[in-house]
Chain A
Amino acid sequence: MNVISDKLHVENNKWIGTRTIRPDGADKVTGRACYAADNVMPGMIWGKVLRSPHAHARIRSIDTSKAEALPGVKAVVTARDIVDFPLDKSVMLGIQDMRWMCRNVMAREKALFHGHPVAAVAAINEEVAAEACRLIEVDYEVLPHVIEIEDAIRPDAPILHDFLTFEDKPSNIAGRMEAKLGDVEAGFAQADVIVERTFRTRPVHQGYIEPQACTVSYAADGRATIWSSSQGQFMVRAMTSLLTGVPQSNIKAIPAEIGGGFGAKTIIYLEPVALLLSKKSGRPVKMVMTRDEVMRATGPTSGSLSTVRIGARRDGTIVAAQGTFYLQAGCLPGSPLRGPVGCSFAPYEIPNVLSVGYDVVSNRSKVAAYRAPGAPLGAYATESVLDELAGKLGIDPLELRLKNSAKPGSKAAYGATFGKVTFEETIEAIRTHEHYRAPLDKTPRPGVKRGRGVASGFWYNAGGESSAQVNITEDGNVLVTTGHPDVGGSRASIANVTAELLGIEHGRVSVQIGDTSSIGFSNLTGGSRVTFASAMVVTQSTEKVITQLRERAARIWKIDPEAVTWENGEARPAGPNAGQFPPLTLTELAAKANEMGGPIGAGVQLNTTGADPGFATHVVDVEVDVDLGIIRVLRYTAAQDVGRALHPSYVEGQIQGGVVQGIGWALSEEYLYDRQGRLDNASFLDYRMPVCSDVPMIEPVMLEIPNPKHPQGVRGVGEAPIVPPLAAIANAVHDALGIRFTSLPMSPPKVVEALEGA
């Protein structure tokens, strides 16, 4: 059971909800923060990966002898050095199947995409390592490849894996997921209006600015230390252990400052390879990806082919909804089917739902998680269809959503029965917002049209395992250790919580991220869980510390601990009956700690629960240049239930950052392949993420409706913001042009083509 603290509804907090300067801020603005590529070790050498030049090829043999003979080369590894996970038995680590992970880290039987690692070298410098890679001779049997979903699911498609079958035939469909409620066909029979459309999205990359990097030192005693950029040092430890056979107890994974991940750094590429190179060479090995490698060979999110059908009565009551979502997994199974299958219809109370997802492999890099994995592409389809439905019914699109919104007790097709639901509040927040009410001049200039669109979104949010340790230093300050890499400001939020609970100045609390040997197991930074879960364990740890502090004061005063209260950073006698003693401050108690029972500190390890889902509703105005096909986002307002904003700036930051990623997804970002199955735009120069002038000042509307299952009322906020933008923008473009874009991105060429066809 999680403790529900009485702090929940306390107003006038001193630190919670304030914009304190983040603990890691000074290091970041001065360039002192240490990221994985900044780490340097004595004796360190450089690792480099040789990658497949083919999109699909059987590896007949690999000859590394010439590379090994090159002066300066210290080690070479191939798939033979990586632990094999046979294809007939699944071994899971979280949601990752090690059969796929071992083949993703190093191609085994086949190279499955252009850029797939086939070998790696460690050498005294990067030039020698690169030269050695050129000397490795790989005998490939080139096979036909397949890139797009439509091609991969055709009966005559080249098959990537002969062990995958679907409906008893060899297939590129690696799996199916279904969520069901009621009887859809019976539901559609009751509908007066039905809208059905098919949508396409392309894979987009998470686009973190920091390429993957690590340094691994494997010592003669069999112990390994890993410094790397990841969304979970415990994941790094476990996955590296599984892939190298080194026991977890012999691996210390140290989380470097992480330069962005957005989900992609919940799996690893380099660490096991670097460990094996270090083991063979006896030297610490550093590996840093180039941007080209990041784009080509780390997971983007799935592209998709979705068909959504929604039926409603004339009064706007939705009676049935059906979704079929084909997702690109990349070269090995594992699309985020749960995103579109579960989230697409979840905000609505619909009696009859059938939502089916298919996991489709093709010769692309294996996908990785990206912010609300899979949910945005599902919402793009659903929320576009709802917009069309609203038009057909003559109902305001927000009204239609309100009318059908999930309520407490509503059952979602994915299985949940909702407790508190805060969807309506987000719709109301937009409906009453000045932005939504402001008139929009739809033809401001010749050749230019404007439109406004809305869309909503849902994300599950997550709890899970977290650990924290709160220690009082001898000089009376506070050191908090948690086990989650901080991607978006969680240290700032935790500092606010700890200072608040202890009633001390914010500056006296330091928050650090522990390595795997100094803090208990903590699951990934992902699923919008970190602030939720770590605030919970830190709260419980701090409450234990406060109990200890009260006991110490009681001992000094020789009274009962129950007769001591903790207020404003001091122990005080609880009322006149407890006795007359001057208060004891944290500093005074810390100074006396050792004579009065030893060090003060407490840790909590917990599998946290109670992370209720997140809802968001967005409104956007766009402008379309009808001659040139250019779409600009003029204004964007995003309302979301954030539970409690422990540090408002970082909640706003999550919303603003997520929306801007959504704008890129909708308008300019896409993976483009050439005929040979090679990624054509594997650089920031050619993969178009928004720069500042591409986006307006995103306006977040934070609705603070406390989550009753969390001590401070926290609700996950990081992922929901990227769910609505794709559809919201497409709906706004429809409002401007009367053209519904069913394929993303809405790049100028596509817009011009659509306008010519219109």
Chain B
Amino acid sequence: MTDRITLVLNGSPVALPPDTSPTTTLLDWLRGPAGLCGTKEGCAEGDCGACTVVLEGPDGGRAPVNACLVLLGQVHGCAVRTVEGLRGPDGAPHPVQRALAEADATQCGFCTPGIAMAAWAHAREGGSVHEALAGNLCRCTGYRPIIEAFAGLEDDGAAPPSLPPVGGATFAAGGQVFHRPASLAELLALRAAHPEALLLAGGTDLGLLVSEGRQRPPAVIHLATVPELGAIAADAGGITLGAAVPYARLLPLLDGSLAPLAGLLARLGSRQIRALGTVGGNLGTASPIGDMLPPLLVLGATLRIASVRGERESGVEDVLLGYRKTTLAPDEVIVSIRLPRPPDGAVLACEKLSRRHDQDISAVGGAFLLRVAGGRVAEARLAFGGLGPMAARARHAEAMLTGALLAPACFADAAEELAQDVAPLSDWRGSAAYRLAAAQGLLRRLYWRVAKPGLPAEVHAL
């Protein structure tokens, strides 16, 4: 027995034929069977944004996503809007589209459908224009006319789609199975039964297998419909975050003492990536340059991990095992992450070094939590990514800094000591020497962050 994938496409319900491969990318389906070629493919890897479409939430929210990374099984029960669906009923272009045309924000026009969709989402969601546009490459215009058009956009006030909630489902076609478990128990049972299946959260790492790698995974277990993994709640002590909650839902809760983490998160990928990507996925991938890992390490985040055998709680440090390796057993799933707020009076700094400000993979990431008392560093927690096979605390540098005077020289000493902690690799993102030197730069910079809190929050902010 297989369920059918249903979705609302440009306002109209669609049920896909039962033989549809559930791991077809949304982009391939739109441009192929759906006959909607307005959405473009520039890279099939989530970086150019030419394939941007919008997921319309029942609450009116608009999430731009890269159709090249999204699998059909993922959008079951979702409302998808493409550039073709932006036109008014009379066929006239939407005001957002008119604004782009009038600003001469299109030259070759290949990026334009994706930019129109990003614009339509931005008109409702607001936020900074740079942030809204970071996921859309344009090679022709130099961006200026696009930025000008974005600055004047207004929400069209269109009503949200009515989306009947869909329960769990299983899509089977052509030798592939795509599970959407509806409860934690169901998820854990499936996981135990199919340890070889791909565990899919947002798919911004896994989607590349299908999109760019052209693979056809035989079994997928999708996490987004499990209530425990999709819940998020903030309290005075911190945030409890379901492992499958997309970054975009976490971002607005990162206020007060967690604001520096928001500054970093706003640079993780692009809006499109943050609409799908999850902290659970960042942990699951366990890349040494996963941006979330250093902050989780210094904040002392704990993970709730479950399997049919029971539950356990674990610190992030105990889960990271090596280069893209975790201690998760094949039947285990991360359910949620507890993100404590920094203790009162502590300073949190989150850094990311990359060639581009936005939409880039880090060469080096760093997170620092410092408590200062009486002109001295009372406690220092320092964690880095990109300086070894996995993100890790820098214990030697921490020891050097703990108890030290709040003075540039002491931070410089800690920076020297950092060489004891790390064993960076050389690759084209940066040589080992550069990575170490840059990380040391971040530590020296930390002095100014603490001593002069007025400094711009990001290293390359104006």
Q: CB-nearest residue of chain A relative to B428?
A: A672
Within 8 A of B (CB), among A367-408: none
Distance A667 CA – B116 CA, assembled complex (angstroms): 28
Distance A292 CA – B42 CA, assembled complex (angstroms): 10
Are A685 and B143 in contact (CB-based, < 8 A)? no
Within 8 A of B (CB), among A29-65: 29-35, 37-38
- Given A22-B104, A628-B441, A685-B46, CB of A30 within 8 Å of CB of B460: no
Are B430 and A209 in contact (CB-based, < 8 A)? no
Q: CB-nearest residue of chain B relative to A291?
A: B43
B444 contacts which chain A residues (CB < 8 A)?
447, 627
Distance A691 CA – B431 CA, assembled complex (angstroms): 24
A625 contacts which chain B residues (CB < 8 A)?
441, 459-460
B113 contacts which chain A residues (CB < 8 A)?
29, 31
B108 contacts which chain A residues (CB < 8 A)?
208-210, 257-261, 487-488
Indicate if B47 sits at the interface (CB-CB under 8 A). Answer: yes
Indicate if B50 sits at the interface (CB-CB under 8 A). Answer: yes
User: Interface residue count for A (Cβ, 8 Å)?
Assistant: 85
For chain B, the bracket of interface size reads: 35 or more
Indicate if A440 sits at the interface (CB-CB under 8 A). Answer: no
- Given A29-B101, A260-B110, CB of A630 within 8 Å of CB of B44: no
B462 contacts which chain A residues (CB < 8 A)?
623, 632, 634
Are A689 and B357 in contact (CB-based, < 8 A)? no
Indicate if B307 sits at the interface (CB-CB under 8 A). Answer: no
Distance A658 CA – B139 CA, assembled complex (angstroms): 9
Task: Name, among A27, A209, A290, A623, the residue most crowded by chain B CB atoms within 10 Å (CB to CB).
Answer: A209
Are B434 and A691 in contact (CB-based, < 8 A)? no
B43 contacts which chain A residues (CB < 8 A)?
291, 683-685
Distance A626 CA – B37 CA, assembled complex (angstroms): 47
Are B100 and A29 in contact (CB-based, < 8 A)? yes
Are B109 and A259 in contact (CB-based, < 8 A)? yes
Are B45 and A446 in contact (CB-based, < 8 A)? no
Within 8 A of A (CB), among B21-55: 31, 36-48, 50
Q: CB-nearest residue of chain B relative to A667?
A: B355
Q: CB-nearest residue of chain B relative to A750?
A: B434
Are B441 and A752 in contact (CB-based, < 8 A)? yes
Contact with B along A59-73 (1 / 0, CB 8 A): 000000000000000
| B interface: dominant SS | loop
Contact of B111 (CB < 8 Å), options: A209, A211, A690: A209
Chain A nearest Cβ from B206, distance in angstroms: 15
Are A22 and B101 in contact (CB-based, < 8 A)? yes
Are B137 and A691 in contact (CB-based, < 8 A)? yes
Contact with A along B59-89 (1 / 0, CB 8 A): 0000000000000000000000011101100
Are A291 and B142 in contact (CB-based, < 8 A)? no
Indicate if A697 sits at the interface (CB-CB under 8 A). Answer: yes
Indicate if A659 sits at the interface (CB-CB under 8 A). Answer: yes
Are B42 and A25 in contact (CB-based, < 8 A)? no
Within 8 A of B (CB), among A627-664: 627-630, 632, 634, 649-650, 652-653, 655-661
Are B142 and A691 in contact (CB-based, < 8 A)? no
Are A657 and B44 in contact (CB-based, < 8 A)? no
- Given A680-B428, A752-B437, CB of A209 within 8 Å of CB of B355: no
Chain B nearest Cβ from A630, distance in angstroms: 5
Are A668 and B356 in contact (CB-based, < 8 A)? yes
Q: CB-nearest residue of chain A relative to B448?
A: A446
10 tightest CB-CB pairs across the interface, nearest first?
Answer: A31-B38, A259-B110, A656-B142, A627-B441, A28-B109, A31-B83, A649-B104, A749-B434, A25-B101, A29-B97
Which residues of B come within 8 Å of A, CB atoms? 31, 36-48, 50, 82-84, 86-87, 93, 97-98, 100-102, 104, 106-113, 116, 129-131, 133-147, 212, 214, 353, 355-361, 363, 428, 430-431, 433-434, 437-438, 441-442, 444-445, 448, 452, 455, 459-460, 462
A selection of 10 A-B contacts at a CB cut-off of 8 Å is A22-B101, A31-B83, A130-B214, A447-B448, A487-B140, A488-B140, A628-B445, A653-B141, A684-B45, A753-B431
